[in-house]
Amino acid sequence: MTAMPAGQEPVPSDRGGEPALGASDRELARKRLEARRGLTAHVVSYVVINVFLVVIWALVGGGFPWFIFPIMGWGIGLVAHGVVAFLLSNPEEIVLQREQKRLAQGQ
C-alpha cells in the first residue's frame, strides 16, 4: 500500500484491497491526461502544418530552405510543451506537498 498524505485516509474499493483514487488524486490524473492530450494535438498540428510548408517550398521551385525556421522555432515550443506534459510536476502540487510536509513535521 502506498503512503497517504497526512490527514487523508484510503478510500475502500472493490478492486481487491486496493484503495480507490481520492478526489485530489483523480483531479491530478485528469489534469495530466488533459496535458498529454493537448500535447498530442500540438504534435499533430506541428506535423501537418510543417509538411504543408515543405510542400509549398517544393512547389515554388525550392531554393533556400526557409521552412527550417518555423520548424525549428515551433519545435522549441513543442519540446517545452512535452517537458511540461511529461517531465515536470505541476508547480501548485509541489508547493502543496511542501506545505503538507511542513505541517506534518510541526505536529
Asked, for residue 10, whether it belongs to a domain, the answer is no
pLDDT at 5: 52
Asked, for residue 27, whether it belongs to a domain, the answer is yes
pLDDT at 13: 47
Q: What is the mean pLDDT of each run of 10 residues along the chain (107 residues)?
A: 51 51 76 86 96 96 93 95 81 80 83
pLDDT at 94: 77
pTM higher than 0.75 for the full model? no
pLDDT at 97: 83
What is the distance, to the nearest Å, from the Cα of residue 75 to the centroid of all Cα atoms in its chain? 16
pLDDT at 36: 85
Range of the domain at 64: 23-106
Number of domains making up the chain: 1
Rounded Cα distance, 72 and 97, in Å: 36
36 CB-near residues (< 8 Å, 6+ apart): 85, 86
